């Protein structure tokens, strides 16, 4: 299914905006109500709306007499009364994004686009992907027909867009599960690769030992003085433990040598 619908009201309207003061306009305008209840009233001039209300708490309509839309948010009210309608309709809508491939859902060959994940503009099928993932642009496709993506979590992994087809978690787990010792003193545990919201390297003795580190978006390029791995990331080299004082001290020392 589509994300939602955009509602459009066009015609000769009176527009009343009330907050700390009151403004009233009349003209042939087009009112757009977005799925998040943002209301925009456009006339013929310029790009800026005549009036608007962002993410209203409620938007209601009254078809008695002049067709009226009323949007409210806290102490703000926006009323649009259509004296002469040119049209009122609901149009299918979805988020727009960069095209990345073709939908492989049953009986659908819609376009897949990337926008806060990947979704089909026709059937609405969604695939959640890491924000740092790169959708491969070399026409590289999985056996299921979906495009592949490159994600860095210790190594550069080339996996299917659909986690159910090819799991990024399993690939990272196979590469790094129990690869590093828990750095907590008096703990003999190994760090396991787990999903807790995101991928983490957490002590196998949890909850007795709650040591855990988010897996950085980068590639392992060495070992920190604390014994944990360092990662080459877009922001520079960092320890698996983002709070590691020894790693920070080493970066400062390197900078002073320069």
Q: What pLDDT does 56 receive?
A: 96
Q: What pLDDT does 95 receive?
A: 86
Q: What pLDDT does 116 receive?
A: 87
For residues 135-147, average pLDDT: 82
Domain boundaries, the chain: 4-93, 98-166, 174-257
Architecture of 4-93 per CATH?
Answer: Distorted Sandwich (2.70)
pLDDT of 93 > 90? The answer is no
**Confidence category of residue 252, pLDDT binned at 50, 70, 90:** very low
pLDDT of 65 > 90? The answer is no
| Residue-wise DSSP of 125-150 | -EE---TT-EE--S--B-TTSPBEEE
Global pTM reads 0.71
pLDDT of 214 > 90? The answer is yes
Q: What pLDDT does 203 receive?
A: 97
**What Å distances lie between residue 145 and 106, 212, 238, CA to CA?**
12, 36, 36
Q: What pLDDT does 249 receive?
A: 46
CA–CA distance, 198 with 208 (Å, rounded to integer): 21
Q: How confident is the model over 48-59, as pLDDT tens digits?
A: 999 999 999 999
CA–CA distance, 30 with 7 (Å, rounded to integer): 10
Q: What pLDDT does 248 receive?
A: 52
**Confidence category of residue 170, pLDDT binned at 50, 70, 90:** very high
> For all residues of the chain together, what is the average pLDDT?
90
**Confidence category of residue 102, pLDDT binned at 50, 70, 90:** very high
pLDDT of 115 > 60? The answer is yes
């Amino acid at each position: 299914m589509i994300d939602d619908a955009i509602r459009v009201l066009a015609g000769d309207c009176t527009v009343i905006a009330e907050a700390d003061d009151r403004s009233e306009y009349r003209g042939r305008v087009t009112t757009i109500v977005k799925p998040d209840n943002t209301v925009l009233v456009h006339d013929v001039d310029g790009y800026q709306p005549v009036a608007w209300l962002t993410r209203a708490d409620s938007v209601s309509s009254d078809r008695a007499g002049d067709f009226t839309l009323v949007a409210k948010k806290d102490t703000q009210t926006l009323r649009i009364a259509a004296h002469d309608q040119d049209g009122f309709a609901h149009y299918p809508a979805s988020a727009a994004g960069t095209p990345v491939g073709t939908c492989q859902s049953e009986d659908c060959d819609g376009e897949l686009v990337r926008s806060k994940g990947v979704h089909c503009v026709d059937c609405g099928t969604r695939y959640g992907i890491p924000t740092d993932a790169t959708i491969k642009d070399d026409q590289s496709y999985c056996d299921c027909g979906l495009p592949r993506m490159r994600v860095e979590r210790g190594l550069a992994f080339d996996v299917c867009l659909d986690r159910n087809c090819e799991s990024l978690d399993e690939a990272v787990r196979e590469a790094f599960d129990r690869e590093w010792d828990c750095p907590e003193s008096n703990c003999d545990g190994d760090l396991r690769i787990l999903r807790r919201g995101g991928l983490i390297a957490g002590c196998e003795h949890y909850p007795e030992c709650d040591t855990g580190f988010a897996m950085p978006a980068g590639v392992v390029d060495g070992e920190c003085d604390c014994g944990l791995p360092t990662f080459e990331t877009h922001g520079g080299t960092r320890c698996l433990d983002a709070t590691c004082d020894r790693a920070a001290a080493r970066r400062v020392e390197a900078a002073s040598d320069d």
